[in-house]
Amino acid sequence: MKIDIITVVPELLESPLSHSIMKRAQDKGLLTVRTFHLREWAVNSYGQVDDYQYGGGAGMVMMCEPLANAIESLQKEQPYDEIIYMTPDGSTFNQSAANELSMKENLLIICGHYKGIDQRIRDMYVTREVSIGDFVLSGGELAAAVVIDAIGRLLPGVLNDETSALFDSFQDNLLAPPVYTRPADFRGQQVPPVLLSGDPKKVEEWRFEQSLERTRQRRPDLLEGQE
């Protein structure tokens, strides 16, 4: 999968995607992430990419022309399956959106800053608007890193044990069960005996029950319409 990102702060994205599993995905050639500084397409020698908003009000708006030129010049290199705009007024990202996006070949992500991008760019080019939750970040970059991590780890061959994503929280609209490692007795706190039983069927049943109970307790909204 190839993901291109247009941003005014590429540094905010580069570090989170250069370690651990995202690093492995890129080293293995399963994921290619490229960041492009919007200033490359600035309209004047000051490198201007934002301007005052029509109608007045505090905060700058990212201008049409640099964004349109950036998008169109990148599109000439390869068509995109989706052009995603990161914005708090987008639809809330979840595991189902991650699954869906992980099947695409080429994605372009636009990170908003300041008050966001001119509405006409959204109307003309953007195919999907994504938020990562009901709070406001100072820019779309950290949100884009979150989305890319969630997608990247789903690509076949990225996780060591390919089945492990199958047991993630949310993968069946359930939260993950509790996990334990050695020692079996930590300061008098015991590992649940079923996990030491060596009976894989019992272990699987216990994990499912724990997932269900945890979901009932913490996220009953996930079970609505399922039981």
Residues that bind ligand 6GU (CB under 6 A): 86-88, 112, 130-133, 135-137, 139-140, 143
Closer to ligand 6GU by Cβ: residue 136 or 189: 136
Closer to ligand 6GU by Cβ: residue 133 or 183: 133
Return all residues near 133 (Cβ < 8 A) that are at least 6 apart.
Answer: 92, 93
**225 labelled ligand-binding:** no
Residue 153's SS3 state is coil
**93 labelled ligand-binding:** no
**89 labelled ligand-binding:** no
Please state the closest distance from residue 47 (CB atom) to ligand 6GU, in A.
22
Closer to ligand 6GU by Cβ: residue 152 or 177: 152
Closer to ligand 6GU by Cβ: residue 31 or 130: 130
Please state the closest distance from residue 131 (CB atom) to ligand 6GU, in A.
4
Using CB atoms within 10 Å of the CB of residue 13, give its burial: 0 to 12 exposed, 13 to 18 middle, 19+ buried: buried
**90 labelled ligand-binding:** no
* CA–CA distance, 23 with 16 (Å, rounded to integer): 9
Please state the closest distance from residue 137 (CB atom) to ligand 6GU, in A.
4
**27 labelled ligand-binding:** no
Token pair of 183 as six digits? 């020692």
Closer to ligand 6GU by Cβ: residue 88 or 152: 88
The residue written with tokens 């991650």 in the block is: 98
Q: What is the arrangement of strands in the sheet containing 106-111, beginning at the earlier edge strand?
A: 32-37, 2-7, 106-111, 82-92, 128-131
Token pair of 125 as six digits? 């080019």
Bond from prior residue into 183 cis (ω within 30 degrees of 0): yes
**135 labelled ligand-binding:** yes
Q: Are 149 and 93 in contact (CB under 8 A)?
A: no
The residue written with tokens 């913490």 in the block is: 218
Residue ranges of the annotated binding site for S-adenosyl-L-methionine are 112, 132-137
Residue ranges of the annotated binding site are 112, 132-137
